Amino acid sequence: MNPVFATILRVWMLLLLALLVVQFALAGFGVGYGGALQAGFEMHFRNGNALLYLYAAAVLLALAARTGAKTVWLTALGAFLVLLQHGMAIVNVPGTVWGQSLFLVHALNGLALIYLAFRTGVLVRNEIRKRPRPRRDRERARLRPHGRPGETRLHR
């Protein structure tokens, strides 16, 4: 594991999580603005485009961090789900049962993305915490109390 890239990936996933929550708020703003897919949803569209590129960068960061295949696959799945969101927006027909069904799947997919970003961040955090301690801490840990108070024994 590369601790520098792992830390960057951890912060990156927190940024993605925050942007995904903002994405939900922007969707609510667009609906409250009038519901039509015009001006009210402009920031929702722009944030969605940014999320696609940021998730693609997260895949590269996961590869560089070398925290494990699971992290790489989860970030790749996130990038795919964001791409799927864009596809659903393109084939949507507003005002039809098909369109409303796609909006439902679009919202559920957004919730899945939020969970995925959170879970990936937790996995990276746990990998960072598992890394070996510096040498001086290991040397101090070798002297442990044993037996009666005040008595120590060197463990090897």
Please give the residue that has the higher pLDDT: either 64 or 132.
64
Q: Tokens 């995904």 — which residue?
A: 20
Which of 40, 69, 54, 44 shows the shortest CA–CA distance to 127? 69
Residue 28 has pLDDT above 80, yes or no: yes
Q: Tokens 């915490």 — which residue?
A: 129
Residue 93 has pLDDT above 90, yes or no: no
Which of 24, 44, 26 shows the shortest CA–CA distance to 86? 44
pLDDT band at 3, cuts 50/70/90? very high
What's residue 29's pLDDT?
87
Overall average pLDDT of the 128-148 stretch: 65
| Domain ranges within the chain, ordered by starting residue | 3-130
Overall average pLDDT of the 86-106 stretch: 87
